[in-house]
Copies of this chain bind each other. A is one copy, B any other.
């Protein structure tokens, strides 16, 4: 049996977990805010048992942290932890692109192309682009590639991570229009490589996008990069000339 939780209904615990989880994702709970068992139990009209279980589920999805005797609280990533997360996520993203290019059927490829066009359509409204809409389009495209990467484990792992990452995605989209332009260029190059089924180049470009995003986040969070003029590279790909 797969890791994916295909079962949605029954069980109060799962219902509460998805509800609170969505709320956390949407930012209705502040990072670090305490998730009191009793308060949540009262709110849903249940006892503390299912709530306790729901909090465990949230911890499994890394949306909450549980400290013994201190209870659960909304996950609060330190700046360096955010960087770490995007680093790991970037590696998975590059893998997803690589696998998608290798395994996608023609129809799936068409679907991806359509999503790429959607991104360009939205970006065409420069300089008046809705950051949220732009972000959503990018996320949709990456989710599509992920879903058709043919690797369920990757989908689950990265999907879980995305729930966290997207809380900070707004930072990326709102910041520096120049960044958005660079992002679009890289994205175009990556999509070209994807269309021509050049898994290697696509993976490299994916990794570049990730590193660009990372540098932007670093700047915003005020964390100095390890190597300012780092050359972007793929998880396994060769160097490319700038």
Contacts and interface: CB of A to CB of B under 8 A. Distances in A.
A81 interface: yes
Q: How many copies does the complex hold?
A: 2
A19 interface: no
Task: Give the residue among A62, A153, A154 with the most B Cβ atoms within 10 A.
Answer: A153
Interface string A116-156: 00000000000000000000000000000000000111100
Given A68-B7, A87-B151, A81 B2 contact: yes
A3 B65 contact: yes
A99 B87 contact: yes
Contacts of A152: 81, 84
Contacts of A62: 3
B103 A68 contact: no
A238 B200 CA distance: 7
A53 to B, nearest CB: 6
A35 to B, nearest CB: 14
Interface string A217-234: 000000000110000010
A99 to B, nearest CB: 7
A233 to B, nearest CB: 6
A87 B95 contact: yes
B81 A153 contact: yes
Interface string A90-118: 01101100110011000000000000000
A153 B88 contact: yes
A230 to B, nearest CB: 9
Interface in A62-102: 62, 65, 67-69, 75-76, 81, 84-85, 87-88, 91-92, 94-95, 98-99, 102
| Chain A to chain B: the 7 pairs with minimum beta-carbon distance, closest first | A207-B236, A56-B56, A60-B60, A84-B153, A91-B95, A84-B151, A94-B235
21 contacts: A1-B65, A1-B76, A3-B62, A3-B65, A7-B68, A10-B69, A14-B68, A52-B53, A53-B56, A81-B152, A85-B153, A87-B99, A88-B92, A88-B157, A91-B91, A91-B94, A98-B233, A199-B233, A203-B236, A204-B236, A206-B236
